[in-house]
Amino acid sequence: MEGWTTIRYSHEQGRSIKAIAAEVGVARNTVHLALRREETPWYQRPRRENPRLTPFICTRA
């Protein structure tokens, strides 16, 4: 989130994509992607079953 904000702010100030990438420490393609996206990025971990707990899960209501 912080990197995305820095990228957008630096671009509005007129900095080049190459300079922004060097400042933030990401690839130029990542800077291009951040500038194309309008919404803030978010990450949600996919839900996984824990095989160790499966025998103890009650499936009846």
CA 2 vs. chain centroid, Å, equals 10
Cα–Cα distance measured from residue 39 to residue 5, given in angstroms and rounded to the nearest whole number: 11
For 5-60, write each residue's pLDDT tens digit.
Answer: 899 999 999 999 999 999 999 999 999 999 998 777 667 788 888 888 877 777 77
d(CA 28, CA 58): 49
Sketch the domain layout of the chain as residue ranges.
Answer: 2-42
pTM to 2 decimal places: 0.60
